[in-house]
Amino acid sequence: MTSRRYVVITLVIFVSIIIDHITKFFAKQYLRNSPPQIYFNDFFRFQYAENTGAMLGLGSTLPETTRFWIFTVAVGILLLALLIYLYRGMGHLTSLQSLGLSLIAGGGLSNFVDRLINKGRVVDFMNMGIGDTLRTGIFNVADMLIMLGMAIVLVFGIGKPHKKQNEHLTNESHPTGGMYGKD
């Protein structure tokens, strides 16, 4: 089970990186130096941007050295810590928790690699909203994977232990027959 989960986690991470970088390649080829491509009555736009900050451009106005330390060094350390937690703790995580963390790691690593390749910039190219006033920031596939992973982790609880850890706490094994007595 553990070796199979190791393979699945690794596949999710690598497939996430590959898909994100393929889409960024096409964004560079077809969207850079082009006006936004508008679809579904302007609900969805393909619009090329290079982001020097975090999600939604957060921190993009910081000095270049500060951005390097935050978005390259600190994020690299956090991603390494996440990978260690994910691979060492996989026996304590449910399959959905592992999937959520794998998506976060895959998206995070993909943007990290993009930032290394593109001198501190991440390619973004999608935007959703209504008109010009109610719109998301410009984002990429890695951002979507991170958000999906975070939603999975939040819904299925990263703090909840795996079922195997709690098997000794079932009603049958508890000396008093469980919290509410015997049925």
Domain presence at residue 181: no
Q: What is the pTM of this model?
A: 0.82
The pLDDT, as a whole number, for residue 160 is: 59
Residue 163 in any domain: the answer is yes
Q: What's the structural domain count of the chain?
A: 1
CB-CB contact of 128 with 44 (8 Å)? yes
Q: Report whether 112 contacts 25 (CB < 8 A).
A: no
Report the half-sphere exposure of 38 (CA within 13 A, side-chain side). 8
Residue-wise pLDDT tens digits, 97-110: 999 999 999 999 99
Quote the DSSP letter at residue 38: E
Q: What is the pLDDT of residue 92?
A: 84
The whole domain housing 43 covers 2-169
Q: What is the number of residues in the chain?
A: 183
Taking 90 as the threshold, does the pLDDT of residue 89 lie above it?
A: no
Answer yes or no: is 119 within a domain.
yes
Has residue 177 been placed in a domain?
no
In-domain check, residue 117: yes
Question: In this predicted model, what pLDDT tens digit does every residue of 122-162 receive, in sequence order?
Answer: 999 999 999 888 999 899 999 999 999 999 999 987 665 55
User: What pLDDT, on a 0 to 100 scale, did the predictor assign at position 119?
Assistant: 93
For the chain, the straight-line distance linking the first and the last C-alpha, in angstroms and rounded, comes to 34
Residue 176 has pLDDT above 70, yes or no: no
Average pLDDT for the chain: 87
139 vs 84, 119, 148, 165, CA distance in Å? 27, 18, 13, 38
Task: Note whether residue 32 is domain-resident.
Answer: yes
Angstrom distance (rounded) from CA 103 to CA 16: 7
Q: Is residue 179 part of a domain?
A: no
Among residues 57, 77, 86, the alpha carbon closest in space to that of 153 is found at 86
Mapping DSSP onto H, E and C, the string for 64-117 reads HHHHHHHHHHHHHHHHHHHHHHHHHCHHHCCHHHHHHHHHHHHHHHHHHHHHHH
In a domain, 144, yes or no: yes
Please report the pLDDT score of residue 66 as a whole number.
95
